[in-house]
């Protein structure tokens, strides 16, 4: 019976454990904090959660939920952080995962050892496993803009933002136009003297609802897999324009290439009411004076940088880290070629939302690999696929390196389905020829 370590008891780690247990594995989940739920736990004592008091799901609950565990019938379309955390707690209890979790257990080392893996903890203890699933998330280490050190007012990264009250009566600059920036600007402007968003990049604000229906449902019905991206972009621009007007009338620039859509159900109303204004990118910062690329200068009391995160895996040696610049050197975003028994779940951003559902898909595939139900292509083929994927991302998102973790859910699910078909066909051919088939870790495992 394979022994598997799962690092993290958030949404990714829970479904990884659930699928592994369902295939007969013995699982230990290591959680650095004292709570289930990861980033959805407000003021999580693991120190890694960026949850703010007003945080809600950006995607509808039914397309976000685990496949076999929907949100409660009375849950709102877009649950808040407390409701998502409660949902994850209920999932852990439904599948008897809580007894598998070692709370307050900080993993400090994951190292190959004797055809398996040694997992070391901060308390000095260590255990051996046949495989390790890293599900610790990619939003724990804030990425600070280079000009942050030049600002002498109140500065914080969005990771540290919790509620608007400390900014009452102040002139606040929110740097960025992603979902966190939109959430924070819409939240904080209710108490500030002024709120300004600095938008270096073009952006398309999509409404949460369109004609009384969640926008993601509308897109799922209208957009087809065969549609070229320019046509899909036009559809999204039309929806955004009907809902909000042209981006330019609010001080933003409509993207001409593929971007991650952003938005907030109240943000555009705050623009209409004059509570939020937009500026282009930042040119220079001197004490509290910020000069923008249009030549204008304004003085701010506070700056909140919603500028993203760096993937940080301090328990892995550099040779084991999947980071390759701004990309992950992972086959299907999960498997590092040439390293047996190490898997990653949840290291992506989903275009249009539905992160938990995608984690579930990844976790199920990992479990089939660990259980020996399917196997992988050879190392060279996986590396070729990774290079092609990186080139594809660079072509899709040519204007920004921040999209290295981006996934389109429909395209990715199709890729995983293709992967399963390929693996099963290859296994059938080997079985028909009398060749070896994949086995579970701890048995004569195939090389990755």
Q: State both tokens at 213.
A: 């229906």
* Distance separating alpha carbons of residues 83 and 57, to the nearest angstrom: 10
Tally the domains of the chain: 2
Q: How confident is the model at residue 402 (pLDDT cuts 50, 70, 90)?
A: low
**What are the Cα distances from residue 426, in Å, to 5, 232, 423?**
28, 35, 5
* Containing structural domain, residue 182: 144-305
Do 51 and 92 fall within a single domain?
Answer: yes
Cβ atoms of residues 8 and 135 within 8 Å: yes
Q: What CATH number corresponds to the domain at position 182?
A: 3.50.50.60
On the 0-12 / 13-18 / 19+ scale of CB atoms within 10 A, 425 is exposed
CA atoms within 13 A on the CB side of 268: 21
What does the pLDDT look like over 403-438, one tens digit per residue? 677 888 888 888 888 888 887 787 777 777 665 554
What does the DSSP assignment read for 349-395?
EETTS-HHHHHHHHHHHHHHHHTTSS----HHHHHHHHHHHHHHHHH
Do 227 and 338 fall within a single domain?
Answer: no
* Distance separating alpha carbons of residues 21 and 1, to the nearest angstrom: 10
Contacts (Cβ under 8 Å, ≥6 apart) of 1: 24, 25, 26, 442
Do 112 and 231 fall within a single domain?
Answer: no
Asked whether the predicted pLDDT for residue 363 surpasses 90, the reply is: yes
To the nearest whole number, what is the mean pLDDT of the chain? 90
Q: How confident is the model at residue 439 (pLDDT cuts 50, 70, 90)?
A: very low
* Distance separating alpha carbons of residues 56 and 82, to the nearest angstrom: 9
Q: 62-66: long-range contacts at Cβ-Cβ below 8 A with a sequence spacing of 24 or more?
A: 63/216, 63/217, 63/353, 63/354, 63/357, 64/353, 64/354, 64/355, 64/356, 64/357, 65/356, 65/357, 66/15, 66/91, 66/356, 66/357, 66/360
Do 349 and 392 fall within a single domain?
Answer: yes
* Distance separating alpha carbons of residues 104 and 355, to the nearest angstrom: 25
Do 296 and 165 fall within a single domain?
Answer: yes
What does the pLDDT look like over 293-304, one tens digit per residue? 999 999 999 999
Determine, yes or no, domain membership for 442: no
Determine, yes or no, domain membership for 420: yes
* Distance separating alpha carbons of residues 238 and 253, to the nearest angstrom: 15
What does the pLDDT look like over 315-325, one tens digit per residue? 999 989 888 76
Q: How confident is the model at residue 401 (pLDDT cuts 50, 70, 90)?
A: low
Do 101 and 179 fall within a single domain?
Answer: no
Q: Say what the pLDDT of residue 264 is.
A: 76
Within 189-262, strands assigned E span: 194-198, 209-210, 213-214
- CA 417-419-424 angle, to 5 degrees, is 100
Q: How confident is the model at residue 331 (pLDDT cuts 50, 70, 90)?
A: very high
Domain boundary among 250, 283, 305: 305
Bridge partners, residue 171, by sequence: 194
Asked whether the predicted pLDDT for residue 440 surpasses 50, the reply is: no
Asked whether the predicted pLDDT for residue 448 surpasses 80, the reply is: no
Domain boundary among 248, 273, 305: 305
Cβ atoms of residues 64 and 353 within 8 Å: yes
Count of positions (residues) in the chain: 448
Q: How confident is the model at residue 21 (pLDDT cuts 50, 70, 90)?
A: very high
pTM (predicted TM-score)? 0.91
Do 283 and 396 fall within a single domain?
Answer: no
What does the pLDDT look like over 240-287, one tens digit per residue? 999 998 999 999 988 877 777 787 788 999 999 999 999 999 999 999
What does the pLDDT look like over 153-167, one tens digit per residue? 999 999 999 999 999
Do 173 and 188 fall within a single domain?
Answer: yes
Domain boundary among 283, 305, 327: 305
Determine, yes or no, domain membership for 444: no
Determine, yes or no, domain membership for 446: no
Q: Say what the pLDDT of residue 436 is.
A: 53
Q: In 3-state terms, what secondary structure has residue 296?
A: coil
Do 96 and 173 fall within a single domain?
Answer: no
Do 11 and 48 fall within a single domain?
Answer: yes
Q: Say what the pLDDT of residue 352 is.
A: 67
* Cβ count near 272 (within 10 Å): 12
Q: State both tokens at 57.
A: 């799901």
Do 118 and 153 fall within a single domain?
Answer: no
Determine, yes or no, domain membership for 447: no
Determine, yes or no, domain membership for 300: yes
Determine, yes or no, domain membership for 436: no
Query: What is the crossing angle of helices 11-22 and 81-94, to 10°?
Result: 20
Q: Say what the pLDDT of residue 141 is.
A: 87
What secondary structure letter does DSSP report for 75?
A: -
Do 301 and 314 fall within a single domain?
Answer: no
Determine, yes or no, domain membership for 177: yes
Give 6 or 392, the one with higher predicted confidence: 6
């Amino acid at each position: 019976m394979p022994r598997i370590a799962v690092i993290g008891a958030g949404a990714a780690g829970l479904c990884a454990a659930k699928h592994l247990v369902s295939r007969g594995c013995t699982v230990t989940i290591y959680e650095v904090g004292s709570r289930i739920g990861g980033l959805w736990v407000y003021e999580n004592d693991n120190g890694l959660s960026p949850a703010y008091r007003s945080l809600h799901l950006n995607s509808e609950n039914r397309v976000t939920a685990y496949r076999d565990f929907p949100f409660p019938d009375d849950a709102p379309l877009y649950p808040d952080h407390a409701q998502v955390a409660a949902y994850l707690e209920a999932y852990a209890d439904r599948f008897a995962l809580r007894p598998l979790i070692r709370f307050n257990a900080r993993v400090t080392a994951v190292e190959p050892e004797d055809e398996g893996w040694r997992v070391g903890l901060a308390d000095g203890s260590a255990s051996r496993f046949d495989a390790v699933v890293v599900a610790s998330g990619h939003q724990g280490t804030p990425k600070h803009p280079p000009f942050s050190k030049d600002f002498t007012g109140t500065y914080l990264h969005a990771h540290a933002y919790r509620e608007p009250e400390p900014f009452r009566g102040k002139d606040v600059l929110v740097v960025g136009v992603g979902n966190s920036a939109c959430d924070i600007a819409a939240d904080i402007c209710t108490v500030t003297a002024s709120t300004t968003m600095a938008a270096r990049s073009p952006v398309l604000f999509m409404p949460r609802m369109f004609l009384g229906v969640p926008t993601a449902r509308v897109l799922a019905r209208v957009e087809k897999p065969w549609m070229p991206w320019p046509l899909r972009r036009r559809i999204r621009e039309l929806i955004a324009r009907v809902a909000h007007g042209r981006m330019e009338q609010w001080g933003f620039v409509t993207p001409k290439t593929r971007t991650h859509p952003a938005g907030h159900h109240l943000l555009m109303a705050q623009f209409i009411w004059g509570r939020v204004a937009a500026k282009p990118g930042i040119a220079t910062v001197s004490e509290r004076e910020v000069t923008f690329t249009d030549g204008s200068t304004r003085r701010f009391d506070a700056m909140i940088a919603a500028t993203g995160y760096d993937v940080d895996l301090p328990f892995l040696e550099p040779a084991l880290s999947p980071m390759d610049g701004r990309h992950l050197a992972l086959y299907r975003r999960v498997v590092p070629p040439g390293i047996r028994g190490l898997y990653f779940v949840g290291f992506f951003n989903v275009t249009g939302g539905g992160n938990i559902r995608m984690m579930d898909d990844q976790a199920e595939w990992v479990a089939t690999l660990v259980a020996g139900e399917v196997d992988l292509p050879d190392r060279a083929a996986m590396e070729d696929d990774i290079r092609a994927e990186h080139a594809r991302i660079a072509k899709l998102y040519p204007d920004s390196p921040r999209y290295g973790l981006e996934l389109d859910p429909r395209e990715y699910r199709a890729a995983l389905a293709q992967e399963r078909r390929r693996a099963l066909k290859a296994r059938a051919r080997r079985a028909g020829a009398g060749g070896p088939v994949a086995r579970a870790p701890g048995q004569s495992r195939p090389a990755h």
